[in-house]
Amino acid sequence: MTRLRLDLAYDGTDFSGWARQPGLRTVQGVLEEALARALRLADTPQVTCAGRTDAGVHARGQVAHVDVDAGDFPAEQPDIDLTALARSMRGLLPEDVAIHRIDVAPEGFDARFSALSRRYRYLVCDDARAWDPLRRREVLHHPRALDIDIMNAAASPLLGERDFAAVCRPREGGTTIRELLTLEWKRGEGGLAEMHVSADAFCHSMVRALVGLLIPVGEGRKPQAWPAEVVAQGIRDSSVQVMPAHGLVLEEVRYPDDVDLAARQTVTRSLRGS
Q: Is pLDDT of 274 > 50? A: no
Please write the tens of the pLDDT for every residue from 143-159: 999 999 999 999 999 99
| Structural domains in the chain (count) | 2
Q: Are residues 62 and 136 in the same domain?
A: no
Domain span at 235 = 117-254
Residues 6+ apart with CB under 8 A from 39: 45, 68, 72, 85
* pLDDT recorded at residue 79: 63
Q: Are residues 83 and 200 in the same domain?
A: no
Establish if 213 belongs to a structural domain.
yes
Establish if 264 belongs to a structural domain.
no
Please write the tens of the pLDDT for every residue from 179-213: 999 999 999 989 999 999 999 999 989 999 999 99
Exposure string (b/e) for 248-269, b if CB count within 10 Å is 16 or more? bbbbbbebeeeeebbebbeebe
* pLDDT recorded at residue 237: 86
Q: Are residues 169 and 69 in the same domain?
A: no
Q: What share of the chain is helix, strand, coil (3-state, %, to 5)?
A: 35, 25, 40
Q: Is pLDDT of 133 > 50? A: yes
Q: What is the CATH number of the domain that holds 245?
A: 3.30.70.660
- pTM for this entry: 0.94
Q: Are residues 56 and 127 in the same domain?
A: no
Q: What is the CATH number of the domain that holds 81?
A: 3.30.70.580
Establish if 109 belongs to a structural domain.
no
Specify whether the CB–CB gap between 235 and 207 falls below 8 A: no
Closest C-alpha among 136, 116, 117, 111 to residue 125: 136
Which DSSP letter does residue 54 get? P
> Which three-class secondary structure state does DSSP give residue 204?
strand
Establish if 266 belongs to a structural domain.
no
Establish if 160 belongs to a structural domain.
yes
Residues with a catalytic annotation lie at 54
Q: Are residues 249 and 145 in the same domain?
A: yes
Establish if 111 belongs to a structural domain.
no
Q: Are residues 121 and 220 in the same domain?
A: yes
Domain end call among 69, 104, 139: 104
Q: Is pLDDT of 142 > 80? A: yes
Q: Are residues 157 and 79 in the same domain?
A: no
Q: Are residues 164 and 76 in the same domain?
A: no
Please write the tens of the pLDDT for every residue from 35-86: 999 999 888 999 999 999 999 999 999 999 999 986 666 555 566 689 999 9
